[in-house]
Amino acid sequence: MAKLLIIIPAFNEEENIIRVIERVRNAATQLPADASMDIVVINDGSTDRTKEAAEKTGVTVLDLPYNVGIGATVQTGFKYAAENHYDVAVQIDGDGQHDPQFLPGLIAPVLDGKADMVIGSRFLDNRGFQSTFMRRLGIRIFYAVNSLIIRQKITDNTSGFRAYSANAIHLLADEYPSDYPEPESVIILGLRKFRIHEIPVVMKEREGGRSSITLFRSLYYMVKVLLAIFINIFKKQ
Amino acid sequence: MENQTVEIFRIQFVAIAVSAGMMAFVFELIRRKKLREKYSLIWFAAGIVMIVLSVWRDLLDRVAFLLGVGYAPALLFMVALGFGALLMIHFSVVISELTEKNKTLAQEIALLKQELKKNKNS
């Protein structure tokens, strides 16, 4: 029996969170019969009623005492998954961008023991919401840099729609970047020879609330993440 | 000539007094537990170097000559700036450490709160 944990990081997502949880629950019917699924919402110090909304649905809620950023929030989920011995962890954003209908496809390579990390990529099929021009430019840079470093094509390094194996969960519970973690975590796992797969997914534009990445922060984002990636090459593995 | 000697003596005296005053202030902060010994070492080191350079004027001239600094007091500024930069890097390291610990603490609190709630309900 494979234990599956859905990690939903949420910061001020009271408009979206209930719908996201419902959709994940609907997708659970498509999972293999020998898999059990739990959902954990991690509230990153929201100032709205995200926590109350999530609690109403009966899922487990981890309530951070103050805002710690997306990386530390998702890492809290990995710590919870590691402590409670989950076999697979899936990260789904709390803003409704990630369609849970892709869940079975996302976890299949992990359940089959073929991958330690599966990334849901927007760019394998190029369908659905493809993000803005500037962001796609940034995404292309990560594609080039990361593929070069780990010698494997990774098309969607910024996707936060991912599945992880128990081995990956344990590593990331100890070591996960604090802010803008997605591209860097590909490097962290890739350099340690964890097996990374990508499957095509279709993403939506967020339905309510507001993205955490404003245009203004994009440049800082690129510089910070590229520096972090660069430093990772020189870290002891 | 005599006037000049007095002036040199005066600036020396001021430099020593300021350095000693700074060290006394740092010492007092530690005594009142406002500052940890660990973070005071670099301040004491700066104070001692400044006092040595003030008392032993010849040393400053010699080192300046060795490094090719034409105007010896400029070396004093360089040393002071160097200590300033060192201190700020030191602070960045301390802040990074604190941030990391703070993050871990927040995560532990979230996990423990959930555990507590689960136990209460069962």
> Does A61 sit within 8 Å of B107, measured CB to CB?
no
How far is the C-alpha of A138 from the C-alpha of A8, rounded, in Å?
A: 25
- Tell me the sheet residues that pair with A197: A118
Cβ atoms within 10 A of the Cβ of B120, count? 7
> Does B113 sit within 8 Å of A63, measured CB to CB?
yes
Q: What is the pLDDT of residue A166?
A: 96
Within 8 A by CB and 6+ apart from A23, the residues are A99, A100, A101
Residue A237 confidence class, pLDDT cut points 50, 70, 90: low
Q: What is the pLDDT of residue A171?
A: 96
Share the mean pLDDT of chain A. 90
Q: Domain tally for chain B?
A: 1
Q: What is the pLDDT of residue B5?
A: 60
- What residues in B contact A178, CB-CB < 8 Å? 99, 103
Rama region for A128: left / alpha / beta (φ>0; ψ in -120 to 50; rest): left
Query: Token digits for A124?
Result: 């394998």
Q: Which of A43, A55, A62 to mutate to test the interface with B (most CBs of B within 10 A)?
A: A62
Mean pLDDT (whole number) for A5-10: 96
Measured in angstroms, the CA of A215 and the nearest CA of chain B are apart by 26
Q: Which of A39, A46, A64 to mutate to test the interface with B (most CBs of B within 10 A)?
A: A64
How far is the C-alpha of A5 from the C-alpha of A40, rounded, in Å?
A: 7
A64, A46 contact by CB (below 8 A) = no
ipTM above 0.90, yes or no: no
Q: Domain range for residue B105?
A: 2-121
Measured in angstroms, the CA of A50 and the nearest CA of chain B are apart by 15
- Which parts of chain B sit beneath pLDDT 50? none
For residue A71, the domain's CATH number is: 3.90.550.10
Q: Domain range for residue A162?
A: 2-234
Q: Domain tally for chain A?
A: 1
> Does B110 sit within 8 Å of A62, measured CB to CB?
yes
- What residues in A contact B107, CB-CB < 8 Å? 64, 68, 72, 75-76, 79
Q: Provide the angle, in degrees to the nearest 10, between the axes of the packed helices B72-121 and B37-55.
A: 180
- Tokens 């973070």 belong to B39
> Does B111 sit within 8 Å of A178, measured CB to CB?
no
Measured in angstroms, the CA of A87 and the nearest CA of chain B are apart by 19
A12-60 pLDDT tens trace: 999 899 999 999 999 988 888 888 999 999 999 999 999 999 999 999 9
A111, A32 contact by CB (below 8 A) = yes
Q: What is the pLDDT of residue A124?
A: 87
